[in-house]
A and B are shown apart, each in its own frame.
Chain A
Amino acid sequence: MRITCPYCGERALDEFTYRGDATVKRPDSLDENTAEAWVDYVYLRDNPAGPHKELWHHGAGCHAWLEVTRDTVTHEILDVAFARKGC
């Protein structure tokens, strides 16, 4: 598999590490009513067949965290963007 890093260009899979779902949002830890949201955020993941936004780290390159849209069925990479918004 090849991933096109916005900084570094098309690179081999071995340069990246996978983290997981990029769509989960970290709840507010100071809000005491977020217990369920925290369990969801830390432990529970959907397992979609098809396009999936996920976080990859370009550890053997620019060290950027990337939001990669990958089809989990075909492994096709549909889009790669910086995880840091506004970059």
Chain B
Amino acid sequence: MAGRQTNRLRGHGLVDQGTTVSFRFDGQQLTGHPGDTLASALLANGIRLVGRSFKYHRPRGILTAGSEEPNALVELRQGARREPNTRATTIELYDGLEAASQNRWPSLKADLLSLNQLAAPLLGAGFYYKTFMWPAAFWEKLYEPMIRRAAGLGYPSKQADPDSYEKTNAFCDVLVIGAGPAGLSAALAAAKAGARVILCDEDFALGGRLLSERGDVDGESGAPGRRPRRPNSSPPDCRILRRTTVFGAYDGGVYAAVERVSDHLPVPPEHAPRQRLWRIVAKQAIVCAGAFERPIVFGDNDRPGVMLAGAVRTYVNRFGVAPGQNAVIFADNDAALRTATDLADAGLTVQAIVDPRPQGSAAAEQVAAGTGALYLRGVIEKVRGAHGVRVVGVRDNQGGTRTIKCDLLAISGGWNPALNLTTHLGGKPRWDDSRACLVPGDLPAGMRVAGAAVGEVSTEACLASGEAAGAGAARDCGFSPSAPSRPAPDRQIAPATPVWQVETGRGKAFVDSQNDVAVSDVKLAAREGFRVPDHVKRYTTLGMATDQGKTSNLNGAAILAEATGRYLGAVGSTTFRPPYTPVSIGALAGHHRGTDFRPTRLTPSHRWAEEQGAVFVEVGMWMRALMFPRPEESAQETVNREVANTRAHVGVCDVSTLGKIDVQGTDAAAFLDKVYINGFSKLAVGKARYGLMLREDGFAMDDGTTARLAEDHFYMTTTTANAVRVSQHLEFCQEVLWPELDVQTVSATEQWAQYAVAGPNARAVIAALLDSGQDISNDAFPYMACGTFKICGGVPARLFRLSFSGELAYEIGVPARYGDGLIRAIMDAGAAHGIAPYGTEALGVMRIEKGHAAGPELNGQTTAHDLGLGRMMSKKKDFVGRFLGEREALNEPARAALVGLKPLDPKVRVSAGAHLVPKGADAVAANDQGYVTSQAYSPELKSFVALAMLSNGPARHGEVLKVCDPLRGSETLAEVCSPHFVDPDGERLRV
């Protein structure tokens, strides 16, 4: 049986009372109406206790009606969609909603962990730093788990999020943040002037405080029961984003917003995201974010049933809910008197208006008389009721005390402008003495603030300031707005007389109820020397967590000011940073998760390789074929077969992922002389050459081969990993360092499909592809030759006689669109010659057998000398890295340089990353002489082999060293040798 909505005010408010929706809270079946929030529906059902506090597990209720809520945090939904720390005040009610209270065990009403309250003296300000310091060993095993168990917020689901999130961009002339009276008025004024406007509001309904207050706007009555009227002619260009929080302001008029597209639904509709992240680029922005009402701090002010006076009006007027039947009002301002009137007009009882202002208020006295309430000059100093307010104790000005039975205590200490967005770029708020609040200070370029966010109080003033800001923003975008229709707001307001806290009360007086920070904690911090609000925040946790102190920061600053005997305006406040309210990681990630975390690049032979059953490996963004296993083959057997087949017959491998850069211009050769350590000017047309590039600090950056296709045309290859970096480096050299050279470079990586065909039969395979009349005999097309040919009936192909494997080999390139066809043609042509494809694993084995440096050796810490290429460094020309590369220390023999390693036991794998120490020496850092970079099993040598960087390495061939891998727990002996394990003289290349 669903609970009855005992506190629903029939006929009141903007919710659709004709339609009933069901929801569950802590397993209890309840009902509400469309238009409710979870908070308003709970209150309608008479539920005031909704959670337990962070440290002391004190019972907590609902303080606010908005996103600033510190207390009413719940776990929303179940299973993979469970979302902890969700503010009940912003959750839009839907049929089937499930929520659970947090931070209680075993149940909300009987929370055994509330025993923490007894340990309260231990949990004061800075308790993390003090109480649990000793003994140190207890921290990890005892204190930390204990604190985490007892203190904490909700729990995440720990399952993958089943929903999707997306990101989008928007551009506008004027961005209006907040759709209250000021925001609506600003958007209208800007749009009427012709500006493209985006209007965002975090709420699901537009209107802001207009939804919560009764009163007339332009002759039409406001809430309850009336929705804001749509303008007769819709504005020319105004995009309205509801459920959209602008949470950050960034440089150059960039704003970030999150739109909760589907959070108000049980499950997102098919193909719809749960949330959408907006990047909005606005020429002008108007912050109309409203204001936060601030509490007055007094003893036991955290009991359920203590609620901000403005929130009480919201629940009564907007949601048609009585937050209590018997109310007491405790406020230091006349604006809060509307709460008494609205409660009384809704048929509820107002027991008393307690006025702490020394001078009192005639208006308050009048409202009290009109609503049948007592008017008491004094303060609230105690609140009783274990799970909600039952009785409040009032101390009057004469020192007399009395108790009043009530179930709702509406409090107000004034209003703080929601100026958070104005400070995200470093702006400092300014203290306004007469309003007793911080108001926006210097604003970033292109930003305006209007309405309550700039300290306006009345609806008329908000409408007028919004209109003026909207017109001003449109004007700054080059439009001509019409003259304002509303008079400028009257800025003469009675100075506020704020009451921050009640000193005389007993019981813990909470400044920040989300973090259980009491007045005593702030005072303790002050006694311990903390004077800056940002420091007090870190020490006491005041203003941390999901609400970032929206209802507590200024009270904390005021108490700090008092405790340190300073003027509040000089103490200031904490720094507001993005995000304004919590943003889910999912929204920030968008579609970039799982395999979509970054783009996947496929090689031209990918589909063909899939058909062959290839196993793929991620190399950067590329998917490359790792190997082509046959049935019943182990991975090692596959690699051994692919290597052996290539060395005995012929193999083919897709090398399209290598970076390919086209270099053209009359100074192309001179340019290459500048970027490689070795010379290219004398390279003949039709020839290719290996080259090494350094960084300007003398360390190796990348290597590859460059072929001269014509006098002024070169074709460079880079390693797969560095393709983008080298391309950017060349552009830097060309545009910044040597702009006088006539040269252009462009990446052609994706334009060319390229295959390595290697092995004794490689020539026969290539020859079979060539159209007739073309000669690639060893004389006509020797080692390191390059040229353009026609293959397969007229397809243009570039042929390079290059070898990474050490065998007679060619690289053949065709425009990428022929890539799939070419691999199939190569396989067909090679069938008669014993061809088999090989993957990157076999490619790696063969390059290690040949001692070619690759990624593990080009690790950013090696020089040309270290790689055994020191003699390639030209002495005659300028090139990048020349000067610092010649530094003595980078060339001394003691540096670790490239060697080969052969384990004494050929069956023992030498692990990459292992360190080398002298045989018989201890495996300690002091004995370290180098490290293993690459290792493989060499089918040709029938032994494991490795490449290593060894101090004075080239002079130590034949020496036996200990290879230590403490990480994997292995030690083995290996002999130092030349890195060229196979065909050291390169005879196979040249046949």
Contacting residue for A29 out of B279, B724, B732, B878, CB 8 A: B878
Is A45's beta carbon under 8 Å from chain B?
no
Is B735's beta carbon under 8 Å from chain A?
yes
B739, A85: Cβ atoms closer than 8 Å: yes
B281, A2: Cβ atoms closer than 8 Å: yes
A27, B735: Cβ atoms closer than 8 Å: no
B884, A38: Cβ atoms closer than 8 Å: yes
A29, B731: Cβ atoms closer than 8 Å: no
Question: What are the interface flags for B683-712 relative to A under an 8 Å C-beta threshold, 1 for contact and 0 otherwise?
Answer: 000000000000011000000000000000
Which of these binds chain A: B247-255, B310-318, B382-390? B247-255
Residues in A whose Cβ lies below 8 Å from that of B732: 19, 55, 57, 65
Is A86's beta carbon under 8 Å from chain B?
yes
How far is B777's CA from A77's CA once the two chains are assembled, in angstroms?
A: 60
Is A30's beta carbon under 8 Å from chain B?
yes
How far is B250's CA from A2's CA once the two chains are assembled, in angstroms?
A: 10
Contacting residue for B736 out of A2, A34, A84, CB 8 A: A84
Q: Which chain B residues numbered 405 to 425 have a C-beta less than 8 Å away from chain A?
A: 425
Is A59's beta carbon under 8 Å from chain B?
yes
B252, A26: Cβ atoms closer than 8 Å: no
Interface Cβ pair total, 8 Å cutoff: 63
Is A80's beta carbon under 8 Å from chain B?
no
The smallest C-beta distance from B621 to any residue of chain A, in angstroms, reads 15
Is B838's beta carbon under 8 Å from chain A?
no
Contacting residue for B879 out of A2, A28, A29, A57, CB 8 A: A29
Task: Knowing A38-B884, A42-B696, say if A75 contacts B736 (CB, 8 Å).
Answer: no
Is B366's beta carbon under 8 Å from chain A?
no
Contacting residue for A75 out of B251, B728, B735, B878, CB 8 A: B251
Task: Knowing A75-B251, A77-B252, say if A28 contacts B878 (CB, 8 Å).
Answer: yes
The smallest C-beta distance from B580 to any residue of chain A, in angstroms, reads 20
Residues in B whose Cβ lies below 8 Å from that of A59: 724, 728
A65, B736: Cβ atoms closer than 8 Å: yes
Contacting residue for A83 out of B696, B736, B884, CB 8 A: B736
Residues in B whose Cβ lies below 8 Å from that of A84: 735-736, 739
Question: What are the interface flags for A9-35 relative to B under an 8 Å C-beta threshold, 1 for contact and 0 otherwise?
Answer: 000100001010000001111100011
Residues in B whose Cβ lies below 8 Å from that of A83: 735-736
Is B763's beta carbon under 8 Å from chain A?
no
A1, B252: Cβ atoms closer than 8 Å: yes
How far is B697's CA from A20's CA once the two chains are assembled, in angstroms?
A: 16
B735, A64: Cβ atoms closer than 8 Å: yes
Residues in A whose Cβ lies below 8 Å from that of B281: 2, 12
Residues in A whose Cβ lies below 8 Å from that of B882: 29
Residues in B whose Cβ lies below 8 Å from that of A77: 252
A82, B735: Cβ atoms closer than 8 Å: yes
How far is B887's CA from A35's CA once the two chains are assembled, in angstroms?
A: 9
How far is B887's CA from A34's CA once the two chains are assembled, in angstroms?
A: 12
Question: What are the interface flags for B858-893 relative to A under an 8 Å C-beta threshold, 1 for contact and 0 otherwise?
Answer: 000000000000000000001100111000000000
**Chain A to chain B contacts (Cβ below 8 Å), 15 pairs:** A1-B251, A2-B254, A12-B279, A30-B878, A39-B884, A41-B696, A42-B696, A42-B884, A43-B697, A55-B732, A57-B732, A59-B724, A75-B251, A85-B739, A86-B739
B contact set with A: CB distance below 8 Å: 169, 250-254, 279, 281, 425, 445, 696-697, 724, 728, 731-732, 735-737, 739, 878-879, 882-884
Beyond known contacts A55-B732, A57-B731, A65-B731: 17 more, CB 8 A cutoff:
A2-B252, A2-B253, A2-B254, A12-B279, A17-B728, A28-B878, A29-B879, A30-B878, A38-B883, A39-B884, A55-B736, A57-B728, A65-B736, A75-B251, A76-B445, A83-B736, A85-B739
